[in-house]
Structure 1
Amino acid sequence: MATTNRPADPLAKGILPTAKQGLKDLFTWDQRIIIRNAHNEEHCEWQKPEPLQNPIRLFAQLGWKQWLYFLVGFLAWTADAFDFHALSIQTTKLAAYYQTTNTAISTAITLTLLLRSVGAAFFGVAGDKFGRKWPMVVNMVVLGLLQVATIYAATFEQFLGIRSLFGLFMGGVYGNAISMALENCPVNARGLMSGILQQGYSFGYVLAACTNLGVGGETNTWKIVFWVGAGFSIAVGFIRVLFPESKQFLEAKKAGHKQSPGAFWAETKLMLAKEWKMCLYCIWLMMWFNYYSHTSQDSYTTFMKEQKHLSPAGATRASILMKTGACVGGTILGYTSQWFGRRRMIICAALMSGFLIPAWILPTTEGGLSASGFMIQFFVQGAWGVIPIHLSELSPPAFRSSFVGITYQLGNMISSPSAQIVNAVAEATIITTAKGEPSPAYGPVMGVATAIIVVGIVVTTALGPEKKGRHFEEAGPIGANVDTFGKDVETGSVSSEKDGVKAMEVVDDSPRNEKV
């Protein structure tokens, strides 16, 4: 098919040439795309960025079933965030309840983040092999039950044990929720929907903070917040029971795709052999992003109460406004990444958040902290708003649930000590506040750490790949994208036969003119 695009040099091969090409492409306004012709021959072209479309028209492209899948994915991610932040925003209450320090309570956050990758692997693979529906149902119901178990933890040791188990099931939510929501959206609407979807995390924080504000500051009220989170998670699980499996998974089954264990593992081996560098890159990127998120928010309420002397209610109100900025920024910047490019948007948002660090930690009033918190989280979660669709486009199409979930949660695992590090360093470094009182140095510690993280995100993203516009929804489930014959599967060897000739390959169901 003839195009009017300018020809481009072919894709670089190797880590350093690819990084060099990625950096150069970042400063080229046109987008590099890969064109596949009818003979499966490939060449690169430069294409003008697609103009931004009216968001109302983009919303109108989604039918009621697509909206249903999207909203349940959003609610699952929101419930997941509510359950997590029910702990982080009540650190001082829990420390008083268990008669320990804030740093000791943040150990529960570390354990939760450490074990999320295990849940991401289990539920991600289950979602790619068996469909999105029942893994998500089980995941959300058990998540709610573990919230209830946390309430009845009689000792601090029991509390830590339950929060560790909680991390396993919390880790399974992201991959299935993201893939279910975005694979059912039209391609040109995915930037906007990705920005909205990612803000389920911030929305969950806002809901948890509002609930915390509503129950008051007494120590035992932390249990009420956990009860609300438990009901939320279980309700989402039951809602997911009421509608069918994802369209793509059902169509693959109707087409007669078989998913034998041999084909499943054979395709997995082929993917890892081909995509291991991409896996490592995405884990590294998610490590920086998870440090970015947790360092800038998990200790912020504690910072406002202990260093800025805000009342518990004032600190909670400021946190709510901070996360409202996150919801707005993630939606807007995720939407504009459809035109501006995924990597360019991430880099610009990260740099803007870095410039705002002094304004973020220096104010002393509730109004000042609310405004500065709103603005920095506008850009922090603005960069995050691009991540769901960026990861989905970078993932091997058949593995978009497990790949997205596992790389995200492995990055989370590496960054899991972030809250504990901030609390420990801050409590070991005493400064004098504006009122002349000694206080842990939460502000300086969070500011320096966030600045380092911004540099890491900018460098990693600038040297990385981008595959905006990729048609990842075309692939069937794992094991359905290879043609297998007899004993080849048992040995892990997958062969496909076309026109009487056997060749080792993975079947490519994507359109011939695909942006990569």
Structure 2
Amino acid sequence: MAESRNEPADPIVRGTFATAKQSWADLFKWKQRVAVTNDYGETYCEWQSPRPLRNPISLFAQLSARDWLFFLVGLAAWTADAFDFHALSIQTVKLAKYYDTSKTNVTTAITLTLLLRSIGAAMFGLAGDKFGRKYPMVVNMIVLGLLQVATIYSSTFTQFLAVRSLFGLFMGGVYGNAIAMALENCPVDARGLMSGILQQGYSLGYVIAASCNLGVGGSTDSWKTVFWIGTGLSIGVGLIRLLFPESKQFIAAKEAGGGHTSSSPRAFWIETRKMLAQQWRMCIYCIILMTFFNYFSHTSQDSYTTFMLTQKELNNAAASRASIIMKTGACVGGTIIGYISQWFGRRRAIIVSAIVSGLLIPAWILPTTERSLSATGFFMQFFVQGAWGVIPIHLNELSPPAYRSSFPGITYQLGNMISSPSAQIVNAIAEHRTVTAVDGQPAPAYGPTMGVATAIIALGIAVTTALGPERRGRQFELAKPAGVATADEIEVKGKLNDVESQVAVDGEKPDVGQMENVIVDDDDDDDEKKR
């Protein structure tokens, strides 16, 4: 490795307050503090200038056909997951009529779904880190489709809630495996752009669900047709994923060390406990950040269709059209701001987006016509989901390298769990307050409730992000999976086990020199190989 010409930087600090202080100071420096490891395994920090923005077409060209395949299937899985979630939230009014209950009670299903997603994230995320990205995702998507069918055939509201609870368990497993598979196969320079596109699978799922809702009309039973479409999407993605191989980065990492590896559940959990002991501050920080982000999206969107139907007196078709345009803005904003974050910085992109979204709140909730609500909704979600567009790659870069499937998924879904009452809170407050609707009659105060909540959350995101770390440009592609030992490590452990076995037979203490010779002999073998 050639000697670096970059200016040396102080090491990345440890500790909560020290990290916050260093992160705040680094926010106002254009250069990025980067940890670099040389060919001798020595790690040091230096200031690196951000690479200039490249033509998006040239970034797309860096991805091979195989890379695109992994990315598109990851995007499809995340889109199908979002469709399944939004199929409920945009049809709250229909479901309330179908089950003869209140809209607030229907949002209980959203709360239960969000509560249980963290358990699914842990189950399928750890499976993805241990066994690979492929089969956990296949099982996940097919079961999601079957649970959509079970939702359609729920004859009582109690059955409906039970199925949606189980549905949330399997929904939680999608995000971590999808973004790990999609982004770990992308070249470093393209990750900001691809992260922005990938995250908008969430908004794309909303757009498709809203378009389906518009197409089936406003009759009470039409919600079932939307859920049948979700069934086809989920099962289809699972079957497509079954047709192509494991993520190349996972295979390459597992084969590091000459192609001979060993893995056991015990080794995996030992390494996992070690990671948690070392990285618990990072875990807590990412959970807090994801809690704010999930409140941000759910508060600004889950009740927005209801807001347009009740307070603004739009019909089902007009409200659906406005929702589609609003989420189109989210897709555009997430892509553009995710792309810019590669140059502007992950944290700066998030902070600016959150602040601008807060400033747009009056224009977002005060208009009364479909056109004006569509336009302001477009720009509001441009910046809400613009901040979100940075999150997939930001979480991947903050993750312990061997846990790129479980860490983002679990922290994201734990944030989802904590924010799970958001729709219920907004609905409950709005339905107990009234404002004057377009026709002059009292109506639930959805607009003011969503506006105040979103402003508070946007400020929380800006502050939390400003005080947190950033690892833009981090190299993590070939980190071996957790619990996997290389051939050299296996050989050393075998020699140590032989010594311990002899002790058990002879009943004598092992000679320290003998133990040392095991390690020395192993090192000598390595030196001989190098020579």
TM-score normalised by the chain length of structure 2: 0.91
Instruction: Classify 1:497/1:233 alpha carbon distance in 2 versus 1 (closer, same or farther; 3 Å).
Output: farther
Q: Deviations over 1:58-88 (max 9, x none)?
A: 1011111110000000000000000000000
Supply the AA of the counterpart residue of 2:155.
A
Alignment pair present for 1:233 and 2:234: yes
1:249 maps to 2:268 = no
Which of 299, 302, 307 is the matching residue for 2:303? 299
User: Structure 1 residue 456 and structure 2 residue 457: aligned?
Assistant: no
CA contact (8 A) 1:73 1:180 kept: yes
Tell me if structure 2 keeps the 8 A contact 1:475–1:481.
no
Question: How far did residue 481 of structure 1 move?
Answer: 5.5
CA positional deviation for 1:13? 2.5
Q: SS at 2:246's partner residue? A: coil
Deviations 1:336-388 (A, max 9, x none): 10000000000000001000000000000000100000000000000000000
Return the alpha-carbon distance in structure 2 between the equivalents of residues 217 and 499 of structure 1.
75
Change (3 A) 1:5 1:85: same
TM-superposed CA distance for 1:447, in Å, is 0.2
**CA 1:481/1:336 → structure 2, altered by over 3 Å: closer, same or farther?**
farther
- Partner of 1:112, secondary structure, is helix
Question: 255-264 vs 110-119, which deviates more?
Answer: 255-264
CA distance, structure 2, for counterparts of residue 502 and residue 278 of structure 1: 38
In the alignment, the residues of structure 1 paired with residue 333 and residue 87 of structure 2 have an alpha-carbon distance, to the nearest angstrom, of 23
Partner Cα separation in structure 1 for residue 520 and residue 275 of structure 2: 22
Q: Deviations over 1:422-451 (max 9, x none)?
A: 000000111112321110000000000000
Partner SS state of residue 377, structure 2 = helix
Alignment of 1:66-105 (within 5 A): 66-105=67-106
| Structure-1 residue corresponding to 2:355 | 351
Quickly say closer, same or farther: Cα 1:451–1:502, change in 2 above 3 A: farther
The answer on whether the counterparts of 1:108 and 1:160 sit within 8 Å (CA) in structure 2 is: yes
User: CA separation in 1, counterparts of 2:172 and 2:10?
Assistant: 40
CA shift for structure 1 position 39:
3.5
Alignment of 1:30-429 (within 5 A): 30-254=31-255, 255-429=259-433
SS at 1:431 equivalent: strand
Q: CA deviation at 1:331?
A: 0.3
1:3-45 CA distance string (max 9 Å, x none): 2211222222321111011001001011111122334333221
| Partners of 1:425 and 1:502 in 2: CA distance | 70
Is 1:476 equivalent to 2:480 in the alignment? yes
In structure 2, how many angstroms separate the alpha carbons of the residues matched to 1:150 and 1:39? Answer: 57
Paired letter, 2:26: D
Looking at structure 2, the residues matched to 338 and 443 of structure 1 have their Cα atoms a distance apart, in angstroms, of: 35
One-letter code of the match for 1:282?
C
Equivalents in 1 of 2:223, 2:122: separation in Å? 31
Residue of structure 1 equivalent to 2:505: none
Relative to 1, partners in 2 of residues 1:479 and 1:91: Cα closer, same or farther, differing over 3 Å?
Answer: same
Structure 1, residues 92-128: CA drift from partner, whole Å, max 9, x if none? Answer: 0000000001100000000000000000000001111
**8 A Cα contact 2:263 2:485, kept in partner:** no
Going from structure 1 to structure 2, the CA distance change for 1:201 and 1:470 (only over 3 Å counts) comes to: same
Give the Cα separation in 2 of the matches to 1:499 and 1:120.
Answer: 41
Match of 1:474, SS?
coil
Counterpart Cα distance in 1 of 2:14 and 2:410: 25
- Contact kept in structure 2, 1:119 and 1:167, CA below 8 Å: yes
Code of the residue aligned with 1:364 in structure 2: it is T
Q: Please state how far the C-alpha of 1:502 moved relative to its aligned partner.
A: 11
Task: Look up the match of 2:528.
Answer: none
Counterpart amino acid of 1:185? C
- Pair member with larger Rg: 2
Distance 1:58 1:497, change over 3 A: farther
Separation in structure 2 between the aligned mates of residue 113 and residue 481 of structure 1, nearest angstrom: 36
Q: Report Cα offsets for 1:202-252 as digits up to 9, x if no partner.
A: 000000000000000000000000000001100000000110011122234
User: What is the aligned-residue identity percentage?
Assistant: 70
Q: CA deviation at 1:179?
A: 0.2
Q: Distance in 2 between matches of 1:40 and 1:252?
A: 18
Corresponding residue to 2:519 among 496, 500, 506: 500
Provide the rounded CA distance (Å) in 2 between the counterparts of 1:184 and 1:40.
24
CA displacement, residues 303-357 of structure 1 (integer Å, 9 cap, x when unaligned): 0010000011100000000000000000000001000000000000000100000
Question: What SS is found at the alignment partner of 2:405?
Answer: helix
Counterpart in the other structure of 2:508: none
For structure 1, list consecutive stretches of 5 or more residues without a partner in the other structure: 491-495, 504-516
Is the CA contact (8 Å cut-off) linking 2:176 and 2:407 kept in structure 1? yes
Q: Which runs of 5+ in 2 are unaligned?
A: 501-514, 523-531
Q: Structure 1, residues 236-276: CA drift from partner, whole Å, max 9, x if none?
A: 00000110011122234442221112211111111111111
Q: Residues 248 and 476 of structure 1 are in contact (CA less than 8 Å); yes or no, is this contact kept in structure 2?
A: no
SS at match of 2:404: helix
Post-superposition Cα deviations, 1:487-512, rounded to whole Å, max 9, x if no partner, equal 99x9xxxxx99992699xxxxxxxxx
After TM superposition, the structure 1 stretch with the greater mean CA deviation from structure 2, 7-16 or 74-83, is 7-16
Change (3 A) 1:387 1:249: same
Q: Distance in 1 between matches of 2:485 and 2:447?
A: 51
Amino acid at match of 1:79: A
Give 2:29's aligned residue: 28
Provide the C-alpha distance between the structure 2 equivalents of 1:240 and 1:130, rounded to a whole number of angstroms: 15
Q: Distance in 1 between matches of 2:242 and 2:466?
A: 42
Please give the TM-score of this superposition, normalised by the length of structure 1: 0.94
Query: C-alpha separation between the residues in 2 aligned to 1:240 and 1:138?
Result: 10
C-alpha separation in 2, matches of 1:478 and 1:14: 25
Q: Which contiguous aligned blocks of 4+ residues in structure 1 show a shift greater than 4 angstroms?
A: 496-499
Could you tell me how far apart the structure 1 residues matched to 2:485 and 2:249 are? 13
> Structure 1's 312 and 55: CA in aligned 2 closer, same or farther, altered over 3 A?
same
Q: Which moved more, 1:428-437 or 1:121-130?
A: 428-437
Q: CA deviation at 1:279?
A: 0.6
| Alignment RMSD | 1.8
Give the secondary structure class of the aligned counterpart of 2:447.
helix
In 1, are the aligned partners of 2:71 and 2:181 still within 8 Å (CA)? yes
Structure 1 partner of 2:449: 445
Instruction: Describe the SS at the equivalent of 2:292.
Output: helix
| Residues in 2 aligned to 1:253 and 1:29: alpha-carbon distance in whole angstroms | 37
